[in-house]
A and B are shown apart, each in its own frame.
Chain A
Amino acid sequence: MALSRREFLKASAAAVAFAAAGASVLNPKVSEAGDAGIKWGKAPCRFCGTGCGVLVGVKGGKIVATKGDPAAPVNRGLNCIKGYFLSKVLYGKDRLTKPLIRKGDKMVEASWDEAMTLIASKFKESIAKHGPDSVAMYGSGQWTVFEGYAALKLFKGGIGTNNIEPNARLCMASAVTGFMTTFASDEPMGCYDDLDLGDTYFLWGANMAECHPVLFSRMIDNRLKNPDVRIIDFGTRRTRTSQMADQYVRFNPQTDLALLNAIAHVIIKEKLYDEKFIKKHVVFKKGKENIGYGLEDKFKFTDDPKPISFDDYKKFLEKYTPEYASKLSGVPAAKIVELARLYADKKRKVNSLWTMGFNQHVRGTWVNNLVYNVHLLTGKISRPGENPMSLTGQPSACGTAREVGTFTHRLPADMVVTNPEHRAKAAEIWGIDVKRIPDKPTYNATEMFRALDRGDIKVLWSQVTNPFQSLPHLNRYRKGARKGDGRFVIVSDIYPTKSTEVADVILPSASWVEKEGFFGNAERRGQQWFKMVDAPGEAKSDLWQTMELARRLGHGNLFPYKYAEKEIFEEYRKFTVGGKDLAPYEAYVKARGLRWPVVNGKETLWRYAEGHDPYVKAGEGVKFYKNKKDDGRAVIWARPYEPAAESPDKQYPFWLCTGRVLEHWHTGTMTGRVPEIKRAYPAAVCEMHPDDAKRMGIKNLQKVKITSRRGTIILPVDLNGRGKAEKGNIFVAFFDETKLINELCIDAYCPISGEPDYKKCAVKVEKA
């Protein structure tokens, strides 16, 4: 009996493997398939950072179908509902097809030459009058690697300003600084295989069920196969993830800092830590405290790390007893002890997963540090099935924003502009004088738009993103963009958005498979695709747009390419050799993505781990080799609990949290154009706790007026929806462009990462 069952399993295993491989027998470029003359090509999904593979069906120059790619290791043929409708995303009725130039109150169609001449003249004029720091590029984690790289090279190596930022600053900058401060190298050690191999998952401020749907189904499948698997959801809001988790642990907003310290406290007090691991792989440090909230314009912060001893760290933690953390967080002390023991359980393979709850946090860097602390204390890191993992929200937040480094302070592959060696290396690869690369970072995303509002930045170009819907304290920045006085805003997009509304020039872009591309997902997997259809009308890729501006500004020599995409990639790859090691372009053309470092043609599943990471020598076991400053050790940081920038009070008694839903992606400009998705989830609602509503005499679906110190919005109340707000909290999704919830959000940010906190501000709610 056992034998036959085993044989059956083996046969299934082989069958599934054949199915997976069989689909990849297709020429990955574009190959003929049987059904009705549709040509299929591979591409990663256009939406979140999961990086699901899809096959794109093209017929008559149009995308007629998409399907999950059975050969893609991430999703194996599956998609979420957004991915399912990818074929309709590019074909909304109001696709932008011609450059538009503002003439008075009207946007008038123009030729590319007119538009680019105007843009170039504005750039030249502004640079001549106000210096290179008066022009800026605001890009995105949806840029392809080529586009991000070209923009970075033009601004830092050509124009000579560090005024380049991605919207990823609003999304995972805290994860970056978390990784950088703890490991001195950005991006996770683990990969999605940990979702199959672990048995304990702590989710922190991550609604995976809706925001990383395919990964969530993978983690749930792990639990189906292994009844020992435990999923613990820490959150300030009861979500679909909480619903399917084994435990939902509700805590008061901002107190995750105290909770993680209390968990470390228990681990140390009960001697559950891995002494050997700590001795060999960890150093302890302490930074500045009371670090502010970045609310004032031109806020500046530099941390001052001081080494401390393990004992100092223990002393630091003494305050964070479970009782103390319980008082702050509302989590029972006994529960904190229980979960600390679960974290430290030697028989368990523990993973921590987080998203915007950690990253969009005025202490985002700290809270990232604190979760690493727990993994470093217990040694549960860089092992198959056992890792901390930050999930990302954009398809190439990792690939483009982080790895290419399209931030004001970064250069490609973890390098920074403040480091002369790094500048020298960049200048060498770019073939320019090192002096051309400015050595001081200028503005983070929020500060960039503050500078535009003040008039310090005159010309701002936004590509592949929608800042005038997505910025916090939106009123200020929407008004700022239209203040005149030489301000000039250029927006490249595929549809009219809240950002094109305030633009002086709108450029029609090519999107996704209308151009050749390369994205990097959250598990370090780089994925390439070819152009499969022409962009509608005169729309052109952002890469072309950037290079055209370069040419007109006299920086054409920086882009001497014939096959720009491939040549840019190979040039960029030079930065990565000896660390992030990307594979040659051709390898990505063939593979369904590869996880860097790819050394000798082999991808790396687990970084810093012997036997997996090519840079860890035999006998080292684990080596955080990137942190050369600390002798290849990771840093445990003593980071205290500090309150949020704005907490509820008598006048504004509710916490406001914002976020996403499964159906819509970010500002909804693409998903909102899919009629099926639009019908399924047409408009934003305000989630509220039934007890709060009852107290205020508010009934389900009734309209309420939500007011913060920055703005007001009217929404119907949802007391029993997919997400259930806790008492004293409300939640609103930000996809609905007719209800700009971000007008209410505070533009406070983490001083270290510069990432704003969209999850916490104070509002009042009244019957409308």
Chain B
Amino acid sequence: MPVSGVVISCLVGCSEAVSGRIAAFDGVEVHGVLPDNQIVAVIEADTVDAEVKLVSQLHEVEDVVSVRLAYHNFEDL
């Protein structure tokens, strides 16, 4: 099961709103909202494909500029 740490950059002043939006996704845990329009979140999914899909979906969320994978683990658990 893959586990990833991601950094999400948002448009200026939108990070609180975005964190609310992304927290609604299954398998996404928001770990912190940083003062420079960035959000740190952890993503869990069943397969790498599902995970990539999830990251892609986060990309589509309103006011998200980029989603950056900072840590990725997909060994079997």
Measured between beta carbons, the chain A residues less than 8 angstroms from B5 are 12-18, 20
Q: Which residue of A14, A19, A20, A384 contacts B31 across the interface (Cβ within 8 Å)?
A: A14
A6 nearest in chain B by CB position? B77
Query: Could you tell me if A5 and B40 are in contact, using CB atoms closer than 8 angstroms?
Result: no
Chain A contacts with B in 1-40, Cβ cutoff 8 A? 2, 5-6, 9-10, 12-22, 24-25
A27 nearest in chain B by CB position? B36
Measured between beta carbons, the chain B residues less than 8 angstroms from A603 are 65-66
> Which of A9, A13, A196 has the most chain B CB within a 10 Å cutoff?
A13
Given A13-B4, A13-B73: A21 touches B34 (CB 8 Å cut-off) = yes
Bound-complex Cα distance A739 to B43 (A): 53
Q: Which residue of B11, B66, B70 contacts A17 across the interface (Cβ within 8 Å)?
A: B70
Q: Interface digits, A209-224 against B, CB 8 Å rule (1 contact, 0 not)? A: 0000000000000000
Bound-complex Cα distance A601 to B41 (A): 20
B52 nearest in chain A by CB position? A384
Query: Could you tell me if B74 and A602 are in contact, using CB atoms closer than 8 angstroms?
Result: no
Is B75 interfacial (CB-CB < 8 Å)? yes
Bound-complex Cα distance A384 to B68 (A): 15
B30 nearest in chain A by CB position? A14
Q: Interface digits, B29-46 against A, CB 8 Å rule (1 contact, 0 not)? A: 101101110101111100
The count of residues in chain A whose C-beta lies closer than 8 Å to any C-beta of chain B is 36
What's the minimum C-beta distance from B22 to chain A, rounded to whole angstroms? 13
Bound-complex Cα distance A594 to B71 (A): 19
Query: Could you tell me if B32 and A2 are in contact, using CB atoms closer than 8 angstroms?
Result: no
Bound-complex Cα distance A22 to B4 (A): 17
A224 nearest in chain B by CB position? B75
Query: Could you tell me if B42 and A13 are in contact, using CB atoms closer than 8 angstroms?
Result: yes
Is B72 interfacial (CB-CB < 8 Å)? yes
> Which of A10, A24, A594 has the most chain B CB within a 10 Å cutoff?
A10
Is A243 interfacial (CB-CB < 8 Å)? no
Bound-complex Cα distance A17 to B29 (A): 12
Measured between beta carbons, the chain B residues less than 8 angstroms from A6 are 1, 3, 77
Given A6-B3, A13-B5, A16-B5: A601 touches B11 (CB 8 Å cut-off) = yes
Query: Could you tell me if B3 and A18 are in contact, using CB atoms closer than 8 angstroms?
Result: no
What's the minimum C-beta distance from B66 to chain A, rounded to whole angstroms? 6
- A: residues with CB less than 8 A from B are 2, 5-6, 9-10, 12-22, 24-25, 71, 73, 76, 193, 196-197, 225-226, 384-385, 587, 591, 594, 601-603, 611-612
Query: Could you tell me if A602 and B66 are in contact, using CB atoms closer than 8 angstroms?
Result: yes
Measured between beta carbons, the chain B residues less than 8 angstroms from A18 are 5, 31-32, 40
- B: residues with CB less than 8 A from A are 1, 3-7, 9, 11, 29, 31-32, 34-36, 38, 40-44, 48-49, 52, 56, 59-60, 64-66, 68-75, 77
Bound-complex Cα distance A587 to B12 (A): 11
Majority secondary structure of chain A interface residues (helix, strand, loop or mixed): helix
What's the minimum C-beta distance from B29 to chain A, rounded to whole angstroms? 7
* Interchain Cβ contacts under 8 Å between A and B, 16 examples: A13-B4, A13-B43, A13-B72, A13-B73, A14-B42, A17-B31, A18-B31, A18-B32, A20-B70, A21-B70, A25-B38, A73-B68, A193-B69, A384-B49, A594-B66, A611-B56
Given A6-B77, A13-B42: A197 touches B52 (CB 8 Å cut-off) = yes
Query: Could you tell me if A13 and B71 are in contact, using CB atoms closer than 8 angstroms?
Result: yes
Bound-complex Cα distance A71 to B59 (A): 18
Query: Could you tell me if B59 and A21 are in contact, using CB atoms closer than 8 angstroms?
Result: no
Q: Which residue of B38, B64, B69 contacts A21 across the interface (Cβ within 8 Å)?
A: B38
> Which of B1, B41, B66 has the most chain A CB within a 10 Å cutoff?
B66
B31 nearest in chain A by CB position? A14
Measured between beta carbons, the chain A residues less than 8 angstroms from B44 are 10
Query: Could you tell me if A17 and B6 are in contact, using CB atoms closer than 8 angstroms?
Result: yes
Measured between beta carbons, the chain B residues less than 8 angstroms from A591 are 9, 65-66
Measured between beta carbons, the chain A residues less than 8 angstroms from B75 are 225-226
A1 nearest in chain B by CB position? B77
A602 nearest in chain B by CB position? B59
Measured between beta carbons, the chain A residues less than 8 angstroms from B34 are 21-22, 25
Bound-complex Cα distance A9 to B76 (A): 12
Bound-complex Cα distance A225 to B1 (A): 12
Bound-complex Cα distance A2 to B73 (A): 15
What's the minimum C-beta distance from B74 to chain A, rounded to whole angstroms? 6
Q: Which 7 A-B pairs have the closest CB atoms?
A: A17-B5, A13-B5, A16-B71, A20-B70, A17-B70, A21-B7, A13-B71
B75 nearest in chain A by CB position? A225
What's the minimum C-beta distance from B39 to chain A, rounded to whole angstroms? 8
What's the minimum C-beta distance from A328 to chain B, rounded to whole angstroms? 38
Given A17-B5, A225-B75: A25 touches B35 (CB 8 Å cut-off) = yes
Given A21-B40, A24-B36, A226-B74: A9 touches B3 (CB 8 Å cut-off) = yes
Bound-complex Cα distance A197 to B55 (A): 13
What's the minimum C-beta distance from A234 to chain B, rounded to whole angstroms? 26
Bound-complex Cα distance A76 to B7 (A): 12
Bound-complex Cα distance A100 to B41 (A): 56
Bound-complex Cα distance A17 to B60 (A): 20
Query: Could you tell me if B38 and A10 are in contact, using CB atoms closer than 8 angstroms?
Result: no
Bound-complex Cα distance A9 to B35 (A): 25
Measured between beta carbons, the chain A residues less than 8 angstroms from B52 are 197, 384-385
Bound-complex Cα distance A609 to B77 (A): 31
Measured between beta carbons, the chain B residues less than 8 angstroms from A602 are 59-60, 64-66
Query: Could you tell me if A13 and B3 are in contact, using CB atoms closer than 8 angstroms?
Result: yes
Measured between beta carbons, the chain A residues less than 8 angstroms from B42 are 10, 13-14, 17
Name 12 extra pairs, CB < 8 A, besides A14-B42, A17-B40: A15-B5, A16-B5, A17-B31, A17-B70, A18-B32, A20-B68, A24-B38, A25-B38, A71-B7, A226-B74, A591-B65, A612-B59
What's the minimum C-beta distance from A94 to chain B, rounded to whole angstroms? 41
What's the minimum C-beta distance from B45 to chain A, rounded to whole angstroms? 12
A14 nearest in chain B by CB position? B31
Measured between beta carbons, the chain B residues less than 8 angstroms from A611 are 56
